[in-house]
Amino acid sequence: MKFRSSLPLFCALSVAACAEAPPPASVIPVVKVMIAGESPTAPSRRYSGEVRARHETAPAFRVGGKLVERLVDVGALVRPGQALARLDPADIALAATQAEAQLRLAEAEAQRYRDLRTKNFISQSALDSREMALQTAAAQGELARNQRSYAVLRADKAGVIAQVLAEPGQVVAAGQAVFRLAESGENEIAIAMPESQIEGLKIGASATVELWAGKGALRGRLRELSPVADPASRTYAARVSLLESDPATALGMTATVRFSRDQVMALIVPHTAIFQQGAQPAVWVLNPDDTLALRPVTLANYGDAGASVASGLRPGETIVVAGVHKLVAGQRVRRQQ
């Protein structure tokens, strides 16, 4: 009786065990993605700079001496010929007096030798020597007279005093800069570019300039790019001309320069985003419907920041940057939040 009563239960368990297990639910993988051209590891194409005059000069005295008077301050507008500073004229005046005395002596000696030559008491060569000494003394006198005017430093062109480099009481040498003069006219942005980011930029490249004190963006153009790096900073000096004016622009203002991405030769993507399909490198591009497409690309080179993609990928496209060897084409994925 016990065996008969347990038989139905045993049969029910056997039927349940033999039934098919329900299929597991489909799992959509979560992937880490990035926007091509906006990787935090990729070199930035934004540079901080300063508004500078296109042409700047460093006025200096043509003679050395003690600076006794400075006639302009930083920010002063100057016109051509305006006096900027003065040297102590005492030494220059003494030198001029000495030159004039030597000239008078040379004139008297030359006249005496002329009289002696007319009487045939001296040779022609002796007279020629005195005539040459007279010409030398005359030139020295003219130079001394010019140096009197050199004691006053005057502006060669109109502009604004951007920096004062010497103060009264200081002894300056001939040619030593006393001011930095920003000439009136066109302004531009001075920036410094690291050596890893100058590839692909050419003279004439368009740029967008944003002044920190301004309200909008200005159009610019890369006018100059130094071919030699600064030995201290290891950066390349560049100048960006402004194609439009802004009344708020003033010398010394801080600006941000951004070059358009189509001027850049290659996009930088992480090494982990590269999927090697035989001999052809590729990346997984995420479509708008969250499915994957394998995109062959051409690599320019490999660097510490990532791989440079020369072609096959457009800025703004979304790519997968981790676990690329576990994915298949057409697979639906979810972006990592």
pLDDT digits (tens, 9 = 90+) for 77-112: 999 999 999 998 887 777 778 888 888 888 888 888
Structural domains present in the chain: 30-42+266-335 (2.40.420.20), 46-54+186-263 (2.40.30.170), 59-87+151-184 (2.40.50.100), 89-150 (1.10.287.470)
pLDDT at residue 192, as a whole number: 93
The ranges of the chain with pLDDT < 50 are 1-3, 7, 9-19, 21-23, 25, 39-44, 262
Say how far apart CA 50 and CA 22 lie, in whole Å.
69
Global pTM value: 0.53
How far is it, in rounded angstroms, from Cα 174 to Cα 177?
A: 9
With left for phi above 0 and alpha for psi between -120 and 50, is residue 9 left, alpha or beta? alpha
Element (H, E) at 176: none
Tokens standing for residue 202: 């050419």
CB 252 within 8 A of CB 302: no
Q: Token digits for 233?
A: 């900073």
Report in angstroms the alpha-carbon separations of 57 from 76, 156, 236.
15, 9, 21
Handedness of CA 12, 14, 18, 20 (dihedral sign): positive
Cα–Cα distance measured from residue 26 to residue 44, given in angstroms and rounded to the nearest whole number: 40
Using an 8 Å Cβ cutoff, are 228 and 237 in contact?
no
pLDDT at 177: 93
